[in-house]
């Protein structure tokens, strides 16, 4: 098998997906934080949060970084074991939110 070239991870390079990524993470994190607030005030995920904790990081690191910024420490471990499964679930839900809008052509080239 011969390849003349390969293209990897063009998200955000060929398509303008930054706004789509932020929106999907906002929905995921806001839902999660509403469930975890335990009677305290709700602080929504902001664009500043996105830039400081998620943007440019691998997904799992971004989730852990954002949660850490809110005082929630979840140790990395086996994806099937709690509490790390919480991070995995956030990543999966976020990805599911992005796919339909990308298929509809909402992400700009």
Residues 41-68: pLDDT tens digits? 899 999 999 999 999 898 888 888 999 9
Both tokens of residue 74? 């979840």
Query: From the candidates 4, 11, 30, 55, which is the catalytic residue?
Result: 11
- For residue 45, the SS3 value is coil
Question: What pTM did the predictor assign?
Answer: 0.66
Q: Is residue 30 part of a domain?
A: yes
Q: Is residue 85 part of a domain?
A: yes
Catalytic annotation present for 31: no
Q: Which of 67, 76, 35, 24 is nearest to 49 (CA)?
A: 67
Q: What is the CATH number of the domain that holds 90?
A: 1.10.150
Report pLDDT for 109.
Answer: 41
Q: Is residue 10 part of a domain?
A: no
Name beta bridge partners: 16: 108
Q: Is residue 6 part of a domain?
A: no
Task: Kindly state the greatest CA–CA separation across the chain.
Answer: 59
Q: Count the domains in the chain.
A: 1
Query: From the candidates 4, 9, 49, 55, which is the catalytic residue?
Result: 9
Catalytic annotation present for 9: yes
Q: Which of 71, 66, 69, 107 is nearest to 90 (CA)?
A: 66
Residues 14-32: pLDDT tens digits? 666 777 788 888 888 898 8
Residues 39-48: pLDDT tens digits? 778 999 999 9
Q: Is residue 1 part of a domain?
A: no
Range of the domain at 76: 18-35+42-103
């Amino acid at each position: 098998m011969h390849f003349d070239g390969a293209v990897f991870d063009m998200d955000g390079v060929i398509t303008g997906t930054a706004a789509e990524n932020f929106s999907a993470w906002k929905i995921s994190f806001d839902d999660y934080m509403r469930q975890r607030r335990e009677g305290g005030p709700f602080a929504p995920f902001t664009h500043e949060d996105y830039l400081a904790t998620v943007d440019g990081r691998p997904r799992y690191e971004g989730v852990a970084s954002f949660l850490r910024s809110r005082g929630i420490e979840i140790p990395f471990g086996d994806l099937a074991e709690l509490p790390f499964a919480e991070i995995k679930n956030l990543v999966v839900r976020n990805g599911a939110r992005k796919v339909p809008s990308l298929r509809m052509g909402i992400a700009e080239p």
